[in-house]
Amino acid sequence: MKAVKIRKIVLGFLFLTVFFCFTASCLAQTRDFWLKIERKGTGFGYEHISIRQLENGYFEYNLDTHMKMDLLGLKDDIIQNGTYIVDANLLPISFDLRLKSRAKGEHVTGKYADGLMHSTITYADGDVLTREVPFKDTYFAVVLGNLILKREKEKIFNLKIFDTEGLIVVNAQVEVSKSDANEVEAAVTDVLTKEYHIDRQGTIKQIEFVELHIRAYLTDAEDAQNISYLNTADGYTLTVESKKSFPNVYKVTQAQIQVRWKDIPFEEFNFEDNRQKVMKKASTNGEYEVFLEFSKAKPASKGITAPVVDEKFAPFLKDTDFIKPSDPTIQRQLAEIRGNEKDAFTITQNILHWISANITPDFVAETLTGPEVLKKRKGKCSEYAILFASLARAAGIPTKVALGEQNIGNRWMGHMWNEVWLGQWMTVDAAASIFVTGPSLVKFVDSPTVMGTQRVRNKLVDNLSLEILDFTEEETATTTEIKTGIFDGTYFNKDFACKISAPDTTWDITVEKKMGIPTVLIKPKEEENVTFALVLFALPPGMSAKTILDTRVNAISGMVKNFKKLEEGESKIAGRKVPRVVFQQSAKDQLILVNENCLLVEGTNGYLFAFITPEDRFIELRASLQKSLESFEIVK
């Protein structure tokens, strides 16, 4: 899964790593040091911290942070430059924070007065948003180390910490585990457990983010800045593989799936919904497993009037950390989508359709609020779920946030979606614009809030396995019996009911599976850098071929060098008009490649055609490509 609020979870608490003494007045007038952040041996971030005392007795903390994240091939540099002012009692006075990444370019400022933090967000396009946050007994994260030393004798105490990026207050519990003449060790717990090591001179020597297997340690400037991109598919985004795969998960009517993990009690999960039920569960010596059974969910029906008025649904209708139904921009957009409609099911469908038509998939590293998604018109699954929840709650439709795994071939990836109350809780995935009916999603937990799903999510990092035990597919009526395989230069696939041929005997045709997804490769014999590929994949019903192709091209544009779109339009494949895009990119050896992509959608079957060749060979070889395209058939 794509990780929620990466900056909030990691960077926000790395701001705590400053040199402290027992009281603010003991702080040296100037300090300057570097911190490096690593996971599994990969240094992917640093923080440069400088501290000085002002003439009025206040303290100023300057924090420059840089993190490098690789989300499914999309590289993102997340940069923060912040200045935080606190008084001699460590209480906040003001802050000034600049954020820059693929998704954000913002300037956030705040000033404390009259029990409120008065904050302003200035966006890159010049738009301005103001917000006031209740701020009683609340601290900036930068002073936490000093508070631990000051209150260490209490052993266990609670704190309220202000997240200056998300403009929300986070409740944290501090438990001191060691206190001697040399150092203090303490665990700070909110959605994560962070173990701090602080020496008696006030130096925080190390922070360990227990669930994420990330640590931050003090070092010199040269070592700190020697960082590379963190591949988040290493388990950080809950990416795991199973031995079996569904040929097409959207055609599965029943399935049994086994989920295993360690050291998380069953009570922290909520596995059941309108599609999946617990068959049995077992635990031995801290190892847990649950067997889930999936069946086709009954379709949602009309008859529930929005807004739903029932006090028991109040937690699923209000504003929360990221979900903002009362925001004026959300209210205006909902009014446009809803019109005069009263039926909750129809409103839900209209919201799904609007999001599909107006939001572009993008693997941004941050987690955006509902209004931010509406403004930027892009995001990953969490942004889709947050915007959907904001709009649905604005209509008075109770909405949960659900978290678990999404199936893609034999790979499972962390995913976030929603459940809505339509007489019963119904599973909806705004990222796919569908009511979910089968095992394409495996739910672990649901919550009224985004952050309410994160305790389980974080504990499952590097701690998860899923296996498909058995499944039944819906029967497909065909008049032609085919077997999957290559016969006399032609590839047949029974599951996807298709066939395709090589242009002639000078081309080889082979097939391989990546992530359990069949890929047909047609290549000239004795010629490199030329490939024609057909990728067969499952997709949710109702998905637009152009939307999928646009998403693919958008992702590629951020992953390759010298991307340039050359042509865009339509082609004809198997008697159907399909979207077509031609673009160029640089290979590792600086060779310019031309890549022509076409996409055909037939029900829940997707057929991606990709022709890659050196720039100077594209025109010459395209005639051969056309022969293969003309040979493609959907077998009935």
**pLDDT score of 144:** 86
CATH code, residues 249-473: 3.10.620.30
Q: Can you read off the two tokens belonging to residue 11?
A: 């960077």
CB 449, CB 401: distance < 8 Å: yes
Please give the single-letter amino acid code of residue 526.
E
β-partners of residue 416 are: 403
**pLDDT score of 516:** 84
CB 81, CB 98: distance < 8 Å: yes
- Sequence-distant contacts of 357-364: CB under 8 A, at least 24 apart: 359/383, 359/384, 359/387, 360/550, 360/551, 360/554, 361/431, 361/551, 361/554, 361/555, 362/74, 362/102, 362/103, 362/554, 363/2, 363/71, 363/72, 363/74, 363/555, 364/71, 364/76, 364/101, 364/102, 364/103
Q: Give one DSSP letter per residue of 34-63, joined into a string.
A: EEEEEETTEEEEEEEEEEEE-TTS-EEEEE
**pLDDT score of 478:** 60
Output the CA torsion sign for 391, 322, 320, 239: positive
**pLDDT score of 127:** 85
Domain(s) labelled CATH 3.10.620.30 in the chain stretch across: 249-473
CB 456, CB 264: distance < 8 Å: yes
pTM: 0.87
CATH code, residues 485-634: 3.40.1000.10
Please give the single-letter amino acid code of residue 298.
K
Domain(s) labelled CATH 3.40.1000.10 in the chain stretch across: 485-634
φ/ψ bin of 13: left (φ > 0), alpha (ψ from -120 to 50), beta (otherwise): alpha
Distance CA 232, CA 413 (A): 11
Q: Which residues of the chain have pLDDT under 50?
A: 1-26, 28
CB 355, CB 388: distance < 8 Å: yes
Q: Kindly tell me the burial class for residue 220, based on how many C-beta atoms sit within 10 Å of its own C-beta (0-12, 13-18, 19 or more).
A: exposed
